[in-house]
Amino acid sequence: MVAYFIIPNYIKRPFCLLIVFLFLNVTHTYTQNNKLDSLSTVLLQLQRNNNFDASNHEHINLLNAIGHEYYFKNIDSLYFYTKKAQELSRKSNYEEGTIMALIGLSHYEAYNGENDKAIQSLEKAYNLAKKIENQKLKIRALNPLGILHYDIGNHAEALKAYLKAIEIATDTNDLLNLSFIQENVAHLYLSQKDYQQSLSLYKIVQDINHQLGNDVYTAQSSSNIADLYVKLKDFENAKVYIDSSIVIFEEKEINDWLAYSYMVKGDMYLRQNRPKLALYWYDKALTLHEDLNDDRSKAQLLNSLSEAYFKLFNYVQAEENAIASLEIGTRLSLLDDSKKSNQLLYEINKKNNKADIALKYHEVFKLLSDSISRKENLNSLGILKTKLEFEKQQKDAQLANEKVKARQNIYFYMALIALAILALIIFLLRKQSKARKIFNKELRLKTKALEKREEELSGINATKDKLFSIIGHDLRGPINALASVLNMLKDDEISQEEFLEFTPKVKNDVDAISFTLNNLLSWGRTQMTGSKTEASSFDIHELVTENIKLLQETAKNKNISITNTTPMKAFVWADINQIDVVIRNLLSNAIKFSHPKSTITVNATKEGDFLKVAIKDKGVGMSPEILDQVFSSKNATLVTTYGTSNEKGTGLGLSLCKEMVNNNGGEIFVTSKLNEGSIFYFTVPLRENITK
């Protein structure tokens, strides 16, 4: 069925499956029939939906996937589904769907011998993937493009496509695609009879496959390595590799690769001049080909059958198979297979004493041999030229990177010099400041009121700096992001649907801004005006419950449950608004640093005249260094870290909690173990006029 996705001769079957993996990343847990039936069922259910939209991306992806499953079953069905996917993708401007459809259509075009059209489809798919900067789709277009160029004898162009794909796969650490493409390059060198280079590449592929941990990929490479060993007449190694592959393919029912492996095993026995055994394995492969639309692989298999029958002196069967292979080779422009068929038919007719017919086949054989020989010479030169050009490009890129690094080093040293100058200036300023302080010491002693005023001004400046820092770093960013999204919507740079996709992120930013503003307002009042504490009696259990409800959605987003085990009717004497801020901040922090699917517990116990509230999480915990800084009076900076889902905080909450707990005559402290979680404690009086 497939044409240009398959490399002729010894590497035909591998490429069929390589494209399957590249296209859908499917494994062989189920047979192809099961996959096709499953995909068809999903498609039927989708089309029966009342809200069915043919241009829906899910629908287009299903059409492409089903079309791909028909690669080796029915070429007309492949065209039907892929063409439909292309039309719908074009109407809905779905570029990914268009790319996948073009790859499928190129398969159909190559099968029908329209190689130029197939190349154009693949180049169009690659350029479109390049336009949208989709690295995986670039590889999916480049790999079959290289295979098709190889198939029609343009080995230099094939290598060029492979090298581009290898560069992308290497940059993106895409081991799966890197394995496939490196194997294709190994096949290319094998066709040039550079067996050592080919074998070394196969070993690299095997190492990658072991990293991937997939026995099917390893079996695929092993079957190709076995074929290489057959050509080297190392039949002992060939048997080890091909037998291990056959076991996997039979177990997984991967008939494409199994047919190829049977053929390789037949080739092994044929090279050992054991045609009866070779014929046994060729017949097994031919039986599998009855359900595979893979004429290119079949052409090679028919030639192998013909050669086996010829060695058994069964010239009738030998001629029938050679003629059948020649028909396929002529139709699909398979020069190597056609050459082999004409050679066999020459030998057969010579044995049958049909000199005129034998001479005709011999003449065609010589013409094809000369043509292939010239093409091989050109290909060898082309491959060498392509390799040298690619290596030159890589060296040029390396030199460019080195220039960039050198420029960066210059900037780095300039920055160091600037820092040194700045440090010197700071040192001189500090020295001057110290002298000024000594000079003013006597004056400050005489004017206590002025000293007090200076302290107040310093406090106000510190508050101002902290406020500007928080506003600049933690409010301006989300607000600018929100403004940017709204401007994009206003200027029609994004659609309403795309704007809705930003909605969850925008809501989270707005919630974070709101939470930060509430803390800023509360903290600003305490710092700048000395917020008044108005104590009253209230039930702390109810206050905890209200805060849990308030933060429930945030916790739900991380699949975190919060349990309130504080005693019912636990009345305390404190400022309810300030304690509300304390509980909300501690719960918010617990959610922020808890692992998804964990639990947060809030409980309270009576200790003398105070109620001790504990909020326990099972999160990232804190190192001893961070623990020392959390409530340290010596630490004037705000300790900020990121949560388990990369949530950003201001570091203001805990400072605010400490001030408000202290305002109400209580204490706040924390215990924590790294990677085990933290417990924050604070105490509040049970009745009026109680302090610690």
Distance CA 226, CA 243 (A): 9
Distance CA 371, CA 392 (A): 31
pLDDT band at 691 (very low <50, low <70, confident <90, very high): low
The string of pLDDT tens digits covering residues 557-585 is 889 999 999 999 999 999 998 999 999 99
pLDDT band at 21 (very low <50, low <70, confident <90, very high): very low
Neighbouring residues of 377: CB distance < 8 A, sequence distance ≥ 6: none
pLDDT band at 9 (very low <50, low <70, confident <90, very high): very low
Residue 606's φ and ψ, nearest 5 degrees, are -85, 130
Q: What is the DSSP string of 578-637?
A: HHHHHHHHHHHHHHHHBPTT-EEEEEEEEETTEEEEEEE--B----HHHHHHHT-TT--S
Is residue 328 a contact partner of residue 296, using CB atoms and an 8 Å limit? Answer: yes
Q: Check pLDDT > 60 for residue 56.
A: yes
HSE-CB for 349 with a 13 A CA cutoff: 18
CA 612 to chain centroid? 48
Q: Check pLDDT > 50 for residue 136.
A: yes
CA-CA-CA-CA torsion sign (608, 610, 611, 613): negative
254: left (phi over 0), alpha (psi -120 to 50) or beta: beta
Neighbouring residues of 369: CB distance < 8 A, sequence distance ≥ 6: 339
Distance CA 287, CA 272 (A): 23
The string of pLDDT tens digits covering residues 635-649 is 444 555 666 766 655
- CATH level 2 (architecture), domain 1-174: Alpha Horseshoe (1.25)
Percent of the chain having pLDDT more than 90? 33
Q: What is the DSSP string of 174-196?
A: -HHHHHHHHHHHHHHHHHTT-HH
CA-CA-CA-CA torsion sign (395, 396, 401, 406): positive
Is residue 195 a contact partner of residue 227, using CB atoms and an 8 Å limit? Answer: no
pLDDT at 5: 34
Distance CA 249, CA 242 (A): 11
Lowest mean per-residue pLDDT among 280-289, 458-467, 603-612, 676-685: 458-467
Is residue 149 a contact partner of residue 155, using CB atoms and an 8 Å limit? Answer: yes
Tokens 């629908």 identify what position?
59
If one counts every other C-beta atom within 10 angstroms of the C-beta of residue 276, the result is 10
pLDDT at 6: 33
- Structure tokens given for 580: 């509300």
Tokens 């924590």 identify what position?
672
- Structure tokens given for 243: 């037998």
If one counts every other C-beta atom within 10 angstroms of the C-beta of residue 209, the result is 22
- Angle 687-689-692 from CA coordinates, rounded to 5°: 95
Q: What global pTM score does this model have?
A: 0.46
- Structure tokens given for 321: 């198979």
Total length of the chain: 692
If one counts every other C-beta atom within 10 angstroms of the C-beta of residue 508, the result is 15
CA-CA-CA-CA torsion sign (511, 515, 518, 524): negative
- Angle 641-644-650 from CA coordinates, rounded to 5°: 30
H runs (alpha helix) in 294-354: 295-311, 315-331, 335-351
Which CATH code fits 533-685?
A: 3.30.565.10
CA 606 to chain centroid? 53
Neighbouring residues of 389: CB distance < 8 A, sequence distance ≥ 6: none
Distance CA 647, CA 626 (A): 18
* H or E, element range at 408: helix 355-446
pLDDT band at 24 (very low <50, low <70, confident <90, very high): very low
Instruction: Compute the radius of gyration of the chain from its Cα atoms.
Output: 38
The three-state (H, E, C) secondary structure of 433-465, written as one string:
HHHHHHHHHHHHHHCHHHHHHHHHHHHHHHHHH
CA 602 to chain centroid? 40
Burial class (CB in 10 A: 0-12, 13-18, 19+), 148: buried
The three-state (H, E, C) secondary structure of 123-156, written as one string:
HHHHHHHHHCCCHHHHHHHHHHHHHHHHHCCCHH
pLDDT at 661: 92
Percent of the chain having pLDDT more than 70? 77
Distance CA 409, CA 415 (A): 10
Distance CA 524, CA 518 (A): 10
The string of pLDDT tens digits covering residues 322-369 is 999 999 988 887 888 888 999 999 999 999 999 899 889 988 888 888
pLDDT at 488: 72
Strand 561-564 with 599-607, pairing: parallel
The string of pLDDT tens digits covering residues 537-556 is 999 999 999 999 988 888 89
Amino acid at 345: L
Q: Check pLDDT > 80 for residue 391.
A: no
Strand 571-574 with 677-685, pairing: unpaired
- Is residue 483 classed as helix, strand or coil in its secondary structure? helix
